[in-house]
A and B are shown apart, each in its own frame.
Chain A
Amino acid sequence: MKYLNQPIEEIHKLLKAKKIKPIDLVEEAFDNIEKSDCNAYITLNKEEALKEAKELESLPVDNILFGLPIAVKDNIVTKNLRTTCASHMLENFIPIYNATVVEKIKEKHMIIIGKTNMDEFAMGSSSRTSYFGAPHNPWNKDKISGGSSGGSASTIAARDVLFALGSDTGGSIRQPASYTGIVGMKPTYGRVSRYGLVAFASSLDQIGPMTKNVYENALLLNAIVGHDEKDLTSAKKEEEDFTKLIGKSIKGKKIAIPNYFVSDIVDDEIIDKIKETEKTLEKLGAKVDYIDMKYLEHAVTLYQIIAMGEASSNLARFDGIRYGHSKENPKDIRDLYFGTRAEGFGKEVKRRIMVGSYLLSGENAREYFYKALSIRDDMKQEFKNVFKDYDYIIGPTTTTTAYLLTDPMDDPSKSFMDDVLVIPVNMAGLPGLNIPIGFDKNHMPIGMQIIANSFEEAKIYSLASALEKELNLDLNPYGGEKNE
């Protein structure tokens, strides 16, 4: 008997009635992961997960997430469970504390099943920069599952588990969610604590939930939000129920589509699907307008400067001294630093650190970094202005559907351009969600991005769920076969 393909309320009921035990779900999840064979995990937490499941048997089933397996991206630190950031640098790193989000999912008695594959230090758009090889897309195993949260996206799309955590610095939750046909939310900057998320670009990084549907996504967000004094940028917001607007009518809602989001940078097939979805939204009573927005076409440039600059500073901590990889027999301190970093980091990471260091050095800080910060502030204002007149901004999440794992990787700009439509949201610190809206001619998923004003995640789930219900897509790549 399989349980993880049933509605979450049903699983909860069965657990509550003691008809099934958490260990049944954990065993099923590991069985699924083995069958999927998508290289979605860097480390499996089998022994500990089974032990925890056993221990839960004596506890009351006190919340809907109780006893459910969850996958955690491998840049979120987990006490006593290897956390590699998909890098040789941290290949053997065992954290000695938990990230705040990990403490929170443990409070709900969720069970960490393993640490998911990703781009090295979350730098990339296809998870192919992983030291451990790229994860595969369950819709077509020759294709990428996107990045950087590619492993989390792959394992959710494959229906291995119900829940995964990802992180999104420049689209790293939404873009892989789009490529794999799942729901991925980047919450408002400050909504979820970053404590224990290995820093890439601190002013942009945000942890968020990845799930197969909207309702489960909102449930996981419920569990991980909240002010945290260990994260200086954590917002002082009351916890709220993000499912509260699910199922409500979207009649009269005003939606904007920026013209840039449907310009010639996007594949025709995807634009057509967005136009179809526009009709669906109008049918549901929403009003859709096309608008012009300033700065969108500059977002990638701003991102390159800010993200590479911040990364070069954040990754300075990897020195071969306190933890992580260290060069053998260094001849002096300089050799230790230079050798450790040359050996420990992969190509993409080195490139970004080098360019970032250059951008922050001397006069360049003013020429590039400060200028980028100023423009980012203006871009944020531009979004705020749109939200005076509109409830939502929508558009495609990606310019193409998932491409082949074997496609060339020699253009250093490519991984940034894959994220051209998702980066503006990080620049403005806004919440954004990917929702699957259909398939291309090769039956690869197409995703749409829903953006709202700061801290309006509940409103995003409302629109997403209305669309999900109306479209009623079959989003199981195995057509239910695997779980029968």
Chain B
Amino acid sequence: MKEKLTKEEVLHVAELARIAVTEEEIKKYQVELKKLLNDVEKINDVKGYDDEILIAPWSNNTELRKDEPREMLDPKKVLENAPRHSGNYIQVPVVIGESEGA
């Protein structure tokens, strides 16, 4: 097994994870992420298991609660935790089209 990921591989997983990485971090991740990925490869050593999937270890019959109106969180309180807001809205930078800055 190779010891390091390529720079491109690190940039690919950082892209998937939506995390910005510096040149210095990339060098570290090339080794550290490879170590973890080597670890998870060991799953291929497991033999003789049944190939059926159970998503949760507790296999109870989950039940949805009734769709009834109930007390909601106070929108004003919710907005207080938002880094940028205006009136009853959360502010975000431009999502579609040319970015002009936030």
Task: Say how far A430's CB is from chain B's closest CB, in angstroms.
Answer: 8
CA distance A2 to B45 in the complex (A): 57
Contact of B87 with A by CB under 8 A: no
Closest A residue to B79 using CB positions: A322
**Contact, CB under 8 Å: B50 / A374:** yes
Closest A residue to B51 using CB positions: A374
- Please tell me which one of the listed residues A298, A333, A345, A361 contacts residue B46 in the complex, with CB atoms under 8 A apart: A298
- Please tell me which one of the listed residues B16, B53, B60, B81 contacts residue A374 in the complex, with CB atoms under 8 A apart: B53
Contacts of B81 in A (CB 8 A): 93-94, 96, 322-324
Contact of A204 with B by CB under 8 A: yes
Query: Which residues of B (14-70) have their CB < 8 Å from a CB of A?
Result: 14, 16-21, 29, 32-33, 35-37, 39-40, 42-43, 45-46, 49-58, 60, 62, 64-65
Contact of B1 with A by CB under 8 A: no
**A-B contacts, CB under 8 A, total:** 177
**Contact, CB under 8 Å: A330 / B42:** no
Contacts of A387 in B (CB 8 A): none
A332-B102, A337-B18, A342-B19 known; A351+B36 contact, CB < 8 A: yes
Task: Say how far B76's CB is from chain A's closest CB, in angstroms.
Answer: 10
**Contact, CB under 8 Å: B83 / A338:** no
A190-B58, A301-B39, A322-B81 known; A357+B102 contact, CB < 8 A: no
A332-B99, A354-B16 known; A233+B58 contact, CB < 8 A: yes
**Contact, CB under 8 Å: A373 / B54:** yes
Contact of B74 with A by CB under 8 A: yes
Contacts of A190 in B (CB 8 A): 58, 60
**Contact, CB under 8 Å: B54 / A96:** no
Task: Say how far A229's CB is from chain B's closest CB, in angstroms.
Answer: 5
**Contact, CB under 8 Å: A236 / B14:** no
**Contact, CB under 8 Å: B49 / A235:** no
**Which of A129-137, A409-417, A442-450 faces chain B?**
A409-417
Classify the secondary structure of A's interface with B: helix
A203-B57, A331-B102, A377-B50 known; A97+B73 contact, CB < 8 A: yes
Contact of A3 with B by CB under 8 A: no
CA distance A124 to B28 in the complex (A): 19
- Please tell me which one of the listed residues B19, B52, B54, B77 contacts residue A354 in the complex, with CB atoms under 8 A apart: B19
CA distance A295 to B64 in the complex (A): 34
Task: Say how far A310's CB is from chain B's closest CB, in angstroms.
Answer: 10
A416-B39, A427-B57 known; A333+B18 contact, CB < 8 A: no
Contacts of B58 in A (CB 8 A): 188-190, 233, 235, 429, 454
Task: Say how far A309's CB is from chain B's closest CB, in angstroms.
Answer: 10
**Contact, CB under 8 Å: B40 / A376:** no
- Please tell me which one of the listed residues A325, A358, A416 contacts residue B37 in the complex, with CB atoms under 8 A apart: A358
Task: Say how far B13's CB is from chain A's closest CB, in angstroms.
Answer: 5
A317-330 vs B, CB cutoff 8 Å, 1 = contact: the mask equals 00111111110011
CA distance A333 to B102 in the complex (A): 8
Q: Which of A96, A302, A355 has the most CB of B within 10 A?
A: A355
Task: Say how far A351's CB is from chain B's closest CB, in angstroms.
Answer: 6
Contacts of B77 in A (CB 8 A): 96
**Contact, CB under 8 Å: A305 / B65:** no
**Contact, CB under 8 Å: B37 / A339:** no
CA distance A359 to B45 in the complex (A): 17
Contact of A378 with B by CB under 8 A: yes
**Contact, CB under 8 Å: A378 / B35:** no
**Contact, CB under 8 Å: B33 / A301:** no
CA distance A232 to B13 in the complex (A): 31
Chosen A-B contacts, 23 in total, with CB atoms closer than 8 Å, are A96-B74, A96-B77, A188-B58, A189-B56, A232-B62, A235-B60, A301-B43, A302-B43, A304-B39, A321-B82, A331-B102, A333-B94, A338-B20, A341-B20, A356-B17, A358-B37, A368-B43, A371-B43, A374-B49, A374-B50, A412-B32, A412-B36, A428-B57
Which 8 A-B residue pairings sit nearest by Cβ, starting from the closest? A429-B57, A332-B99, A326-B83, A357-B16, A323-B81, A342-B20, A338-B20, A377-B54
Q: Which residues of B contact A (CB under 8 A)?
A: 12-14, 16-21, 29, 32-33, 35-37, 39-40, 42-43, 45-46, 49-58, 60, 62, 64-65, 73-74, 77-78, 80-84, 90, 92-95, 99, 101-102
Instruction: Knowing that A189-B58, A190-B58, A351-B29 touch, tell me 11 more A-B residue pairs with CB under 8 angstroms.
Output: A97-B73, A323-B81, A331-B99, A336-B93, A337-B18, A341-B19, A345-B19, A354-B19, A355-B36, A374-B49, A377-B53
